[in-house]
Every structure is written in structure tokens, then in C-alpha cells.
Structure 1
């Protein structure tokens, strides 16, 4: 039962194989088993790859099954269409397109399994890429907010500078009227005279202006600081909103790219393994000598080809003979006076009928 199934997978003619030896049947059962298990590996690999795309087990298994059946059909077709020839060069030339197709299939099958085998290493590469993307994203978003924050900080610095300048002027007036009272500057007279009173009034006025300036600028600074806080909050929210996009950067293409950054040597040997599995039925058919099945299959094809050629030749001969007979018949009829008279009579009747019909139509139109 299992052998019959694997023979079916090999694409060989089971009716012809039944007349062959057990060794010949086992050979094609082995080829069919290779085709079958290659399709199973394709199903597993494609299911995993599609799971990274759809993130759904049912969808991945469904489309993976379709892909496995497609690979099974292709492999079965490739193996069944390779015919044994009398020369190896002819067989190799016949198998070359199929080997190229097998290489493509091996690449498609091996990549998803490589991603599964090196999943931990790929996750590490993806983590590093995500961290780099996070930093780059923050820097890029900061370019939209930093100029605004810097402008607001400059406004705060300017307001504080106005207060500092006013404080310096007020302190200078304070020192002036104190020195006047002590007699160390100004008029040089000790005591609080008219000059002292005048300078004290200037200082008091400047001090009042300073207090008013501090109040006004303090309100402006507080308002600007609130704007800066709002910008910082908005920046943090934008970073938070865009972070899930970066966290989701682990799809199929991202994983293939991450796999490409790993050392090529292990991936290359996994590819060679699948290439060997995929091409093994073809290589087996190329290397094995012409067997009993190949001889009987060639005989069946030869019988069919001869029968078809015979039928075609017979049809061509029938057509040629029939043409010659018809030609001779019509040549003989040319000299028949009775036939000539009959056809002339019928032609005259036809012309009379046409004339009568034409006359009726003309009369109706009057």
C-alpha cells in the first residue's frame, strides 16, 4: 500500500511497473518518497513563513498546504518527464531546465526554515534594528519640536536678561544714594540732604519699576514654560504613538533582511541540504542505468508512435487516392453531351424564373 503510494508520487506508470522486478519497483518507490517528503518540507517551511505574514495558524496552514501541493506537483512533473536516453549528454541537457527549477524551489523552501532555525539570532538583530529605529525616530521627531523649544527658551532668557539689567541699574542707584548719605561720593557731605533725597527717590522709582517688571516678566516666563511643557508632552505622545510601528517591525521581509546580516556559511549549507533533497530524484534518474521500466516504457511509446505514424500515413494516402479518383471522374464527365444538355435546360429555367420575379416586383412598384 505504502509502496503503491510512493510509486504514484514518482509519476511512473504503475501498470508498467507491475510487470517489472521488485528492485525496479523499489527504485521508483524511493524516488516517489523523496518527492513526497520534499513536499512535506515545503508545507512546513511555507506555513512558518506565512505565519509571520498573516499571524494566523489557520491561514498559514491553509496556504502552506496549497504551496506544498504545488511543490509536490512540480517535483512529480519534473521527475516523470525525464526519460532515459542512450547518451548521458542528452539526458543531462533534458534535465538542465528541471535542475534550474529545482534550485529555485530549494531556495524557496530553505529560507523559511533558516529563519526558524536562526530565530533567536534574527530576534537579536531585529532588536538592535528596532533600537536604532527608535533613536532615529526620536531624533527625527525632535527636529520638529526642538526649534520651537529653543525659540521659547531664548524668549525666557531675554525676559530674564531684562530683569537682570533692571536689577543692576536699581542696585547702582542704591549704592549712589547710600554713598551720598555717607559722604563718600556725590557732594561729599555727610547726612541726608536734598541731594540724598533726590537720589533716594530715583532709586525707589527704579525699585518699583523693577518689581513691576519682575511681575510682568514672571507671568510671561510662566506662560512660555507652559508652552514648553505642552510641546514636551506632545513630543512624548507622538513618540509613544509611533513606537508600535517600530515594535511591529518583524515581518517576513524584515526577518529575511536580518537573516542576510548573519554569517552566510551556516545558511549556505542549509541551502545545499535542501538543494540536495530537491534535486536527488533528478540526480538519481540521471545516474541510474537504463532499467527494465525505461525499456518497457520506451517500447510502449515506440508502439504508440508507430501506430500514430501509420494512421497518419493511411489518412494521407486515402486523401490522395480520393483526390485522384475525383479528378478522373470529373474529367470523364466533361465529354457527356446528355449532362451538358440537362444543365443547360436547368439554367434556362432558372433564368426564366428570375425574369418573371423581376417583372412582378416592377409591376408592384408602379
Structure 2
């Protein structure tokens, strides 16, 4: 049962192969087994690759199965269309496009399995890239908000500077009128005289201005500090919103690029292994001598070609013979006077009818 299944996978003509020896059947069963297991690996590899895209094992398995069946059909077609020739160069020439196609298939199949085999190493590379991307994203977002934050901070500092400047002025006026009262500066007279009152009045006016300025600027500072807090919230929200995009940076393309950053040799060995598996049925057919199956297949093909050639020759002979017979028949008919006179009579009747019809039409017009 299993042997018959693998022979079917090889694409061999079952009517011919089952009439061959047991050894010949085993050879094609081995070729069919290689085709089948290559398709099975293609199913597994494509399912994993699609799982990294869809994150759903059922969808990935379904489309992976379709891909595996496609690879199975291609491999079966490649193996079944190779014919043994009398010269190896002819066989190699007809097998070259198939070998190229097999190489492409092997590369496509091996890449997802390489990604799975080196998954831990790839995760390490992706983690480093995610960290770099997160840091770069923070810097970009910070640069985006830097202008607004800087302007807001400058405005707050300016308002605070106005208050400090006014406070300094009030403190200086306070020191002046206190010194005047103590007699340590100004008029150097102890007590509260007219000059003291004048300086005290200036201080009180400046103090009132300071209180008004402090109240006004404090309200502005609080508003601008609220704006600054909102800007910081927006900055952190922007970073938080973009972080899931960075965290999900582990799709198929990202893993393929990460795989390229790993040492080449282990990945190359795996690809060469799949290359050997994929091309082995073709190489086996190229290197093996003509077997019983090949001779019987060639015999059937030659018998069919001969039959087609004979049929074509007979059809051509029949055509030329019939053409000659009909030439002779119509040549004799052409010499028949009775037929000639009959056709002449009918032609005259037709001309008379046409003349009468034309005459009647003309009379109707007139």
C-alpha cells in the first residue's frame, strides 16, 4: 500500500511501472518518497512562516497545506517529465530548467525552517533592534515636543523673572526707607520725617505693584505649567501609543533580516541540505542508467509515434486519392451536352425573369 502510494507520488505511469521488476518499482517508490517528504517539509515550513503573519494556527495550517500541495505537484511534475536519452548532455540540457526550479523551491522551503531553528538567536537580535527603535522613538517624539516645551518654559521663566525683578526693587526701596528712619543713610537724621514718608510711599506703591504683578503672573504661570504638564502627558502618550508597534516588530520580514545578521555558515548548511533533498530525485534520474521502465516507456512512445505517422500517411493518401477521383468525375460531367443544354435553358429563364422584373419596376416609377 505504502509502496503504491510512493510510486504514485513519483509520477510514473502505473500501467507500465507495475509491469516492471520489483527493483524498478522500488527505485520509483524511493523517488516518490523524496517528493512526498519534500512537500511535507514545505507544508511545515510555510505553516510556520504564515503563523508569524496571521498568529492563527488554523489559518496558517490551511494555507500551508495549499503551499505544500503546490510544491508536491511541482516536484512530481519535474520528476515525471525527465526522460532518459541516449546522451547525457541531452538529459542534462532538458533537466537544467527543472534543476533551477528545484533550487528556487529548496531556498523558499528552507528559509522558514531556518527561522524556526535559529528562533532564540533571532529573538536576541530582534530584542536589540527593538530597544534601539524604542530609544530612537523616544528621541524623535521628544524632538517633536521640544519646541513647544522650550517656548513654554521660556515664557514661565520670563514671568518669574519679572516677579523677582520687582521683588528686588521693593526690597531695595524697603531698605532705603528703613535706613532713612534709622538715620544711617539719606539725610542721616534719626526719625520719620518728610523724606522718610516720601521713600515709604514709593515702597508702598512698588509693593502694591509687586502684589498685582505677582497675582497676575502667578495665574499665567499656573496656566503655562498646566500646558507644560499636558505636553508631558502628550509626549508620554505618544511614546506609549507607538510602543506596541515596536513590540510587534517580529514579523516574517523582520525575522528574515535578523537571520541575515547571524553567522552565514549554519544557515548555509541547512539551505544546502534542503537543496540536496529537493534535487535528489532529478539527480538520481540523471545518474541512473536506463531501466526497464524507461525502455517500456520509450517503446510505448515510439509505438504511438509510429501509429500517428501511419494514420497521417493514410489520411493524406485518402485525400489525394479522393481528389483525383473527383477531378475525373467532374471532368466527365463537363463534357455532357445534355447537362450543358439544361443549364443553358435555366440560365435563359433566369435572365428573362430578371428582365421582366426590371421592366415592371420602371413602369411603376413612370
Tell me if 1:230 matches 2:230. Answer: yes
Q: Which residue of 2 aligns with 1:172?
A: 172
Q: Which residue of 1 aligns with 2:149?
A: 149
Tell me if 1:264 matches 2:272. Answer: no
Structure-2 separation of matches of 1:362 and 1:266: 101
Q: State the shift of 1:356 in Å.
A: 5.0
SS in 2 for 1:83: coil
SS in 1 for 2:290: coil
Q: Which residue of 2 aligns with 1:93?
A: 93
SS in 2 for 1:188: coil
Query: Given the two structures, how large is their TM-score scaled by the length of structure 2?
Result: 0.94
Q: State the shift of 1:99 in Å.
A: 0.4
Structure-1 separation of matches of 2:183 and 2:252: 89
Q: Per the alignment, do residues 245 and 365 of structure 1 end up closer, same or farther by CA in structure 2, a change over 3 Å counting? A: farther
SS in 2 for 1:343: helix
Bigger shift: 203-212 or 104-113? 203-212
Give a deviation string over 1:80-118, Cα, whole Å, max 9, x none: 000001111110000000001101111111111111111
Q: Which residue of 2 aligns with 1:127?
A: 127
Q: State the shift of 1:355 in Å.
A: 4.3
Give a deviation string over 1:219-255, Cα, whole Å, max 9, x none: 2111111111112112222222222222222222222
In the TM superposition, 1:64-79 aligns within 5 A as 64-79=64-79
Q: State the shift of 1:178 in Å.
A: 2.7
Q: Which residue of 2 aligns with 1:55?
A: 55
What is the aligned residue count? Answer: 366
Q: State the shift of 1:155 in Å.
A: 0.8
Structure-1 separation of matches of 2:119 and 2:296: 50
Give unpaired runs (5+ residues) of structure 2: none
Query: Given the two structures, how large is their TM-score scaled by the length of structure 1?
Result: 0.94
Q: State the shift of 1:23 in Å.
A: 1.0
In the TM superposition, 1:1-366 aligns within 5 A as 1-356=1-356
Give unpaired runs (5+ residues) of structure 1: none
Structure-1 separation of matches of 2:100 and 2:11: 20
Q: State the shift of 1:136 in Å.
A: 2.4
Structure-2 separation of matches of 1:219 and 1:166: 17
